[in-house]
Chain A
Amino acid sequence: MASISLRKLNKTYGALTVVHDIDLEIADKEFIILVGPSGCGKSTTLRMIAGLEEVSGGDLVIGDEVVNDVPSKDRDIAMVFQNYALYPHMTVYKNMAFGLMLRKAPRDEIDRKVMEAAKILDIEHLLNRKPKALSGGQRQRVALGRAMVRNPEVFLLDEPLSNLDAKLRGTMRAEIAKLHKRLGATFIYVTHDQVEAMTMADRIVVMKDGHIQQVDTPQNLYDRPVNMFVAGFIGAPQMNMLPVTILRDGQGFVARFEGQNLPMPGNLDQSRIAAYEGREAVLGIRPENFHEVAPDDIPAEALAQMSAVVELTEPMGSEVHLGLTWAGRPITAKVSPRCKAAEGETLNLLVDMSAAHLFDPKSELSLFSDAPQPRGIAA
């Protein structure tokens, strides 16, 4: 049983607090990813779980035991580091076997476990080679293998793919996800790459400035971000934020943006919008919610017409990212590669307002989210 609880976990360096009383429950066998910008405290949190950083306050519970003062080696965890941390003078076999050798495990057992891990990771042909000859991906597999042979209850992975090229990262993402299913262990993974987070995690923990902003499944984070930070962090290109005023329009509401009324369709919580009638709000529209032609699955009343000047086109192959200016505001739209908009041209697009988000401009909290409000953001 390797459930993990962080209870008011706190980390300070002198007067500087880098992790602020965070609470988090991680279930047994869960794949949880800590994500956030550099300096948000995600690696420090992971290192506290690993026992590499002392806990300044709160409780860290693994299983049923508070492990604040339990040495790292006794926590039944294995960590994979960003730089792999392989011993360059040892062969792959010995790198993988080293932890077991230190624990004076029998040779037969070491051999069996190393061979098993090597088979799973497809590195049997590398066992008697030294890390110097290995590519980044192969080194990463060895680092994973070294963690695997210990058969830990919890795997901690600190940006393990950030040194790999994009293609290999994609491959290794799939490998790690498969590995998690196969091993049935708890995985805690730190990254600043939201694609890694979205594709692998059971749940994602979004952190900022040492505070947890939101803990949820990848789809919920995307669909129902709790605040502007999460909305902007999850999704690429990031969500467009526009200042609007909420006005009543007959039975419903509209968001008034630079003289243009954008409908607030019925699928959005009208009672919550009503609370902002006559007040300012921030309208969030994801780049993929701009369309050149009306999609069949979106009702016409949910679509708003807009005209914007194309400032930049970024063909991505499967899609085109357009840098636009809409009523003097820079926005980004994601359209199909068939769009042949030229820079400087005025483009007419439709905005899917049924997928719109609204935020309070002061607190930055979503008007629609029911998730607990995170601490540590502007009140």
Chain B
Amino acid sequence: MRWLADHYFAEGPGISKDAPKRTGLALVAETMWREGIELMKLNLIFVLACLPLVTIPAAFAAMMRVTLTMAEDRNVYLVEDFVQAFRRNFIRASLLGLGIAAALAIPGYAAFSYAELAVASPLYAVPLALAVGVACLFAIAGTYAFALLVISDFSLGDILRLSLLAALARPGKPLAALGFVAALWLIHILFYPVTLVMPAIINFAFGTLAIAFSVLETVQCLVRAKEERAGEA
């Protein structure tokens, strides 16, 4: 065990004050590495909080709040922050969650139906692609909506409007983050049962952190813009 202790306690190279801050994927990877244990704990808390099922949206909102704080490179009080965000956003997150689930269900069902039809007739590939596109757009809007919910005091109407606009204007990063989430689940399914514990400690929190990074900049811009408009008014 000596090597482990040496590894754990050995002096590092130091961090220069003027060292350029990592950006992009390097920053995401660094944060995931640094906050790995906290993320695993967060995942576990999220799973426990989801057990009553009706708490899923609020638990997701709370997890989004915690991961946004990590993405902002601020200190996280894991349990406290989670519980506080869970309580604070319970009703609004539940309403938003229901709305997004319903919005996703329509294009999702359409996509499922057109996919079956497309097997028989390739002509249905066009509406299938349209349905998948709309579902992706709603999913992206959903990520923006949850981030806006926990980071601002906007009304639900404003959140829905701004998140749809954001999804149309900047869909790239959240789409990539959703791809990362899908990849995590794919790994879980492909390597099951080796990956049995992945959903309990990895998939939700690491996926949400990726989403948080993908939406943070836009969400902060939206909040600032709205505050400035309110200030001018």
Residue positions of A touching B, CB distance < 8 A: 88-89, 91, 93-94, 97, 107, 111, 122, 125-139
Contacts and interface: CB of A to CB of B under 8 A. Distances in A.
A9 B127 CA distance: 88
B121 interface: no
Given A89-B37, A107-B77, A134 B8 contact: no
Nearest to B31: A128
Given A88-B9, A135-B12, A135-B14, 6 more contacts: A111-B75, A127-B75, A128-B75, A132-B8, A134-B11, A134-B12
The majority secondary structure among interface residues of chain B is loop
Contacts of A125: 15, 17
B52 interface: no
B11 A135 contact: yes
Contact of B13 (A88, A127, A130, A135): A135
A88 B75 CA distance: 16
B39 to A, nearest CB: 13
Contacts of B37: 89
Interface residues of B, number: 16
Contacts of B8: 88, 132
Given A89-B37, A94-B75, A127-B75, A132 B15 contact: no
Interface of B: 8-15, 17, 34, 37, 73-75, 77, 80
Nearest to A107: B77
B74 A128 contact: yes
A95 to B, nearest CB: 11
A137 B14 contact: yes
Nearest to B13: A135
A374 to B, nearest CB: 39
Given A94-B75, A127-B75, A128-B75, A134 B34 contact: no
Contacts of A130: 34
> Which 9 A-B residue pairs are closest in the complex by CB-CB distance?
A135-B14, A133-B12, A93-B75, A88-B8, A136-B11, A125-B17, A132-B12, A128-B73, A134-B12
Nearest to B72: A128
A111 B37 CA distance: 22
Contacts, number: 45
Nearest to A122: B17
A130 B34 CA distance: 7
Contacts of B34: 91, 128-130
B75 to A, nearest CB: 4
B15 A134 contact: yes
B83 to A, nearest CB: 13
Contacts of B11: 134-136, 139
B2 to A, nearest CB: 15
Nearest to B70: A128
8 contacts: A91-B75, A93-B75, A107-B77, A125-B17, A130-B34, A132-B8, A132-B12, A135-B15
B40 to A, nearest CB: 12
B226 to A, nearest CB: 26
Nearest to A135: B14
A136 to B, nearest CB: 5
A192 to B, nearest CB: 21
A348 B147 CA distance: 83
B59 to A, nearest CB: 22
Nearest to A163: B11
Contacts of B14: 133-135, 137-138
Contacts of A111: 75
B70 to A, nearest CB: 9
A230 B27 CA distance: 55
